[in-house]
Amino acid sequence: MKLSIAAIGHGRQAPEHLLAQTWFNKLPHQGQWIERVSKRPAGADRKRDESEKLLAALPHGAFLVALDPYGKDISSEDLATMIQTQRDQGRRDAVFAIGGADGHDEVLLNAADMRVSFGRQTWPHMLFRAMVAEQLYRAEMILVGHPYHHA
């Protein structure tokens, strides 16, 4: 299964992107970075526009995980199990969506197959991308029984 990260904003020039890319490159079936921006002013219209752009960019039939502070707080093992379950059900793609500064609009949250939280804290956007990429790698290592998870 290809694991992808969809995010608002262009961050490929940020120093944190190298960290995110390092983890992302280790994925056995690397997906893609999906980045979208909105030129609308801040507010509800922008949030909706960002969410619609992310939804439009998803691979057909992808399992969509909305990363949301109000989602379900899951362990790394739970994340691995969720990925394995979707793989076993024949899903080819899973996309982990990171919203903009105001989060996801209801249009994306309602379309998501699952809402996952990394806690209620606020993280710098680019650092959070690296955290997501590392957790995807960790989940893959859990599934193959690699000792990385226990190190």
**What is the extent of the structural domain holding 96?**
2-150
pLDDT per residue as tens digits for the range 14-29: 888 899 999 999 998 8
Q: Check if the beta carbon of residue 65 is closer than 8 Å to that of residue 95.
A: yes
Rounded to the nearest 5°, which phi and psi values hold at 22?
Answer: -60, -45
Q: Are strands 93-98 and 2-8 parallel, antiparallel or unpaired?
A: parallel
d(CA 51, CA 42): 13
- Split at pLDDT 50, 70, 90, the class of 48 is very high
Per-residue pLDDT band for 121 (boundaries 50, 70, 90) equals confident
**CATH number of the domain to which 71 belongs:** 3.40.1280.10
Alpha-carbon distance 52 to 47, whole Å?
A: 9
Between CA 1 and CA 94 the distance in angstroms is 7
pLDDT 10s digits, 56-104: 999 999 999 999 999 999 999 999 999 999 999 999 999 999 999 899 9
The Cα 141–Cα 56 span in angstroms is 30
Nearest to 118 by CA among 66, 74, 83: 74
Please tell me the pTM assigned to this model. Answer: 0.93
In 3D space, the residue among 124, 144, 97 whose CA is nearest the CA of residue 3 turns out to be 97
How far apart, in whole angstroms, are the C-alpha atoms of residue 46 and residue 52?
A: 10
Q: How many domains does the chain have?
A: 1
Pairwise CA distance, residues 21 & 43, whole Å: 30
- In this predicted structure, what is the pLDDT of residue 75? 96
